Amino acid sequence: MLVVTLVLAAVGFGLLVIALMTGSVVWAWGCIAVCVVGAVLLLASALGGRSSAEGEWADPRSVGQAGTSGGRSGRRAPRRRPGDRNSSDR
Counting Cα atoms < 13 Å in the Cβ hemisphere of 31 gives: 15
More confident residue, 3 or 89: 3
Domain boundaries, the chain: 1-49
Question: Would you state the pLDDT for residue 23?
Answer: 94
pLDDT tens sequence across 68-90: 555 555 667 667 777 767 666 55
**Which pLDDT band holds residue 54 (cuts at 50, 70, 90)?**
low
Indicate if the pLDDT at residue 59 is higher than 90: no
Distances (CA, A) of 36 to 11, 13, 52, 86: 12, 12, 24, 61
Taken in order 63, 69, 71, 72, is the CA torsion positive or negative?
Answer: negative
Residue 14 exposed, middle or buried by CB count within 10 Å (0-12, 13-18, 19+)? middle
